[in-house]
Amino acid sequence: MKPIFFILSLIFFTGCGGTNNSEIEDNTAPFTNTPTAHTHTTEKKWYTPDTNTTWQWQLQGTLNTTYDVDLYDIDLFDTSKNQIQKLHQNGKKVICYFSAGTYENWRIDKDKFSTEMIGNTLDEWEGERWLDIRNQTIYTIMTDRLDLAKTKGCDGIEPDNIDGYQNNTGFNLDQEDQSKFNKFLSKEAHKRGLSIGLKNDLDQIIELEPLFDFAVNEQCYQYHECDRLKPFIKSKKPVFHVEYHDKYIHNTNQERDKMCNQTDILGFQTLVLPILLDDSFRYSCHQ
């Protein structure tokens, strides 16, 4: 899960998403590389959050459904269709998380991945390894996951680890490989009436922003990268932003206050959360 973190003060690490599994339905769709087919249209047939959309992000532990927010970002596999229906009944939109760029050895569809698709282990994330996104079978597996998201009633998806070309994957991935894969995810999500978020991948924002409905970003403030997300805000699309560092959790020297002030100026929806995303701590800059 996520890029490699170098946060010396964090002492707990694990793979994201949890260990419980749910159903997978086999229903593949062919891929054609037509990335401009659904750039800005006059009428979108999927949910599109706006920059004022409030959110909660939880991928592990018993789901806390009590937050007064507009949108929940939850794990695709570990959240049941019934739980998603209840969130809808409470007026919440639901974004479903899955890792599109890595293999996780606890997922119910893990046996669909062959050895040649699986690369290097992600630092600090046991049981998770990079995928060769050039392999067409990966495309088929991801369409299966998109079908599952549709079947469960998700309003949109958050595909993670879609910046493998910037990491030590064990494969010779380049920007073109990543761009093709990310555009495929966008096209297939929209085909199913699902919105889609661009997770991190800051170097391709200019190219990909028109094809994505929102951004999800981790730690842009800590690494002085938040300005790069401005194209989403300029297009009136939300940036769902998270910081994990202890200094923001404990507001050391008012560091959290400073961060919240700056990201509020940028128009982000910012949360401070534990890196495990287990609801053990939550601070919203807009609470």
**Which residues, 6 or more positions from 15, have their beta carbon under 8 angstroms from its beta carbon?**
1, 104, 106, 122, 125, 126, 127, 128
The CA distance from 2 to 218, in Å, is 8
Q: Tokens representing 106?
A: 């606890």
The CA distance from 153 to 139, in Å, is 21
The DSSP symbol for 82 reads: H
Whether 28 and 190 have beta carbons less than 8 Å apart is answered as no
Tens digits of residue pLDDT in 244-269: 999 999 999 999 999 999 999 999 99
Say what the pLDDT of residue 287 is.
Answer: 73
Say what the pLDDT of residue 25 is.
Answer: 39
Listed residue (116, 205, 105, 112) closest to 163, CA to CA: 205
Which helix (H) or strand (E) element contains residue 180?
helix 175-191
Say what the pLDDT of residue 226 is.
Answer: 98
Tens digits of residue pLDDT in 167-183: 999 999 999 999 999 99
Say what the pLDDT of residue 24 is.
Answer: 38
pLDDT below 50 — which residues of the chain?
Answer: 2-42
Helix/strand/coil for 215 = strand
Strand duo 214-218 + 239-243: pairing: parallel
